[in-house]
């Protein structure tokens, strides 16, 4: 059995949660047909990637690559940190094997506990007699 693993202090689930960021970026992506119909040009990229990422204004297709730079860096960092975790190279079959062993230990402990409880009850009855 392997000891419990602890995530590195600078790796949090937030580092791997990309859905809110991607959802925000996609919701800000301007529809090319709506901007051409209204006669307005799409926004131009004049801000830093983090300003685009944290902004709430519309994005054009050309703003997507710089807007996702911070997200890409965050994912790359998380990927590297995950690779350094112990046992990350274990196969599914190795993990399943360990699960079977743990389940067997659990059931064995459960039986032992029931037997002990039965023995204690028997001892209590004997003392009453």
Q: What is the pLDDT of residues 84-126, one digit of tens each?
A: 888 888 999 999 999 999 999 999 999 999 999 999 999 998 8
Which of the 8 DSSP states describes residue 16? G
| 59 SS3 class | strand
Domain boundaries defined on the chain: 1-89, 92-129
What is the DSSP track for 8-43?
-TT--GGGG--HHHHHHHHHHBPPHHHHHHHTPPPP
Q: What is the pTM of this model?
A: 0.47
Task: Express each pLDDT in 26-80 by its tens digit.
Answer: 888 766 555 444 444 444 445 555 556 566 678 888 888 888 888 888 888 888 8
Q: Which residue has the higher pLDDT, 8 or 73?
A: 73
């Amino acid at each position: 059995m392997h000891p419990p693993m602890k995530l590195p202090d600078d790796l949090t689930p937030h580092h791997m949660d990309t859905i809110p960021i991607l959802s925000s970026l996609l919701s800000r992506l301007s529809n090319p047909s709506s901007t051409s119909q209204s006669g307005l040009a799409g926004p131009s990229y004049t801000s830093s990637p983090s300003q685009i990422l944290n902004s709430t204004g519309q994005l054009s297709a050309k703003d997507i690559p710089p807007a996702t730079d911070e997200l890409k860096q965050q994912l790359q960092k998380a990927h590297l940190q995950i690779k350094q975790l112990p046992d990350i190279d274990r196969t599914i079959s190795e993990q399943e094997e360990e699960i079977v062993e743990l389940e067997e230990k659990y059931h064995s402990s459960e039986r032992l506990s029931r037997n002990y409880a039965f023995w204690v009850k028997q001892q209590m009855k004997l003392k009453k007699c």
